[in-house]
């Protein structure tokens, strides 16, 4: 178990790369957990270092509905009876897991739905547990725990419900899945949005924070986050160039573009191939909107 101490009251239990995510723990007049996606045993061991236990958790806050971020919410709720807080888009999805599946593109007609459910149950067991959000948050809501004031900041693109959480004191932002990983921005669902993701990155870049806390980096506190966000943003452009190149070289459809995978070149799991197709579809839409390619009778061609 590794954790990072950000301040005397704010800690990050490291979850690392997908499917585990970093979990923020605030120890003030309440014990607050944000995104309980790290290994639950690691969270328990961390709590013990602070003379606390999992049953001492008072509040869980969710940044968005992705299974790797909500994994242990209901497990911890059953242990501690903690309240669960999420934003107004996330809350109904958490309350009704079929809605969540559809929101993520895995409606009952999706051919890889069962494989995706198996992946979630294998790697993120608990994410589909039924439960209810107690407190619904809106964009810009502020709330305090002891000396620490948090503020919600909607940052869609990754998913429409994605939000960051600002720490007003100290001046930090938990950026969740604007995570600055080498992989780059993830927008692999039908309702993800490249234009929104770009705007959300810019919003963080101009936030004037002293540091950004990533939802997935092993060294979670990034001080030079502005430069890192610029590089992160450029990864979208680089992928878009590769999609455009494939179309210039003759690919006429998204399946033809993904014959040589751009996002997941080394993976053959059908679930990840689905994510690849959705991400490439977003790039195709972006290239059409930018006037670089056109679509005629379902066939793509450069302009
Ligand atoms: Zn996510």
Complete domains list, the chain, with CATH: 3-223 (3.60.15.10), 238-302 (1.10.10.10)
Q: Residue range 257-273: average pLDDT?
A: 91
Could you identify the residue written with the tokens 């979208």?
A: 236
User: Residue 267: is its pLDDT beyond 90?
Assistant: no
SS3 for 86? Answer: strand
Please, are residues 256 and 280 in contact by the beta-carbon 8 Å criterion? no
Cβ-based neighbour number of residue 176 at 10 Å? 26
CB atoms within 10 A of CB 54: 22
Report the chain's mean pLDDT, rounded to a whole number. 97
Distance (angstroms) between ligand 1 centre and the Cα of 155 equals 12
What pTM, to 2 d.p., does this model score?
Answer: 0.97
| Listed residues: CB within 5 A of ion ligand 1 | 66, 177
3-state secondary structure of 278: helix
Judging by beta carbons within 10 Å of its beta carbon (0-12, 13-18, 19+), is residue 104 exposed, middle or buried? buried
Mean pLDDT of 145-150: 94
Place of tokens 């992989």: 183
Residue with tokens 């990072």: 4
CA of 35 to the centre of ligand 1 (A): 10
Residue 206 has pLDDT above 90, yes or no: yes
Ligand 1 centre to CA of 164 (Å) is 11
Judged by DSSP in three states, 220 sits in coil
Reported residue count of the chain is 303
- CB-count exposure of residue 12 (10 Å: 0-12, 13-18, 19+): buried
**Residues above pLDDT 90, as percent of the chain:** 97
């Amino acid at each position: 178990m590794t954790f990072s101490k950000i301040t005397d009251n704010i800690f990050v239990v490291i979850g690392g790369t997908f499917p585990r995510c970093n979990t923020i723990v605030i120890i003030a007049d309440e014990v607050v957990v944000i995104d309980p996606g790290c290994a639950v045993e690691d969270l328990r061991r961390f709590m013990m270092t602070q003379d606390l236990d999992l049953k001492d958790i008072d509040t869980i806050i969710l940044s968005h509905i992705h299974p790797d971020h909500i994994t242990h919410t209901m497990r911890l709720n059953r242990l501690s009876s903690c309240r669960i807080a999420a934003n107004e888009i996330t809350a109904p999805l958490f309350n009704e897991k079929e809605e969540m599946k559809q929101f993520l593109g895995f409606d009952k007609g999706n051919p890889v739905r069962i494989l995706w459910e198996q992946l979630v149950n294998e790697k993120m067991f608990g994410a589909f547990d039924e439960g209810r959000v107690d407190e619904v948050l809106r964009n810009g809501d502020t709330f305090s725990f002891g000396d620490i004031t948090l503020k919600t900041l909607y940052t869609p693109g990754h998913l429409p419900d994605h939000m960051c959480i600002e720490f007003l004191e100290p001046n930090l932002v938990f950026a969740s899945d604007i995570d600055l990983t080498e992989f780059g921005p993830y927008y692999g669902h039908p309702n993800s949005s490249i234009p929104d993701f770009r705007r959300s990155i810019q919003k963080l870049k101009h936030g004037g924070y002293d540091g950004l806390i990533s939802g997935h980096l092993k060294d979670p506190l990034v001080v030079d986050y502005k430069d890192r966000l610029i590089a992160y943003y450029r990864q979208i452009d680089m992928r878009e160039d590769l999609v455009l190149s494939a179309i210039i070289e003759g690919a006429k459809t998204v399946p033809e573009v993904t014959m040589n995978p751009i996002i997941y070149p080394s993976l053959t799991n059908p679930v990840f191939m689905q994510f690849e197709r959705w991400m490439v579809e977003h790039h195709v839409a972006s290239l059409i909107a930018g006037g670089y390619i056109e679509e005629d009778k379902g066939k793509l061609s450069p302009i």
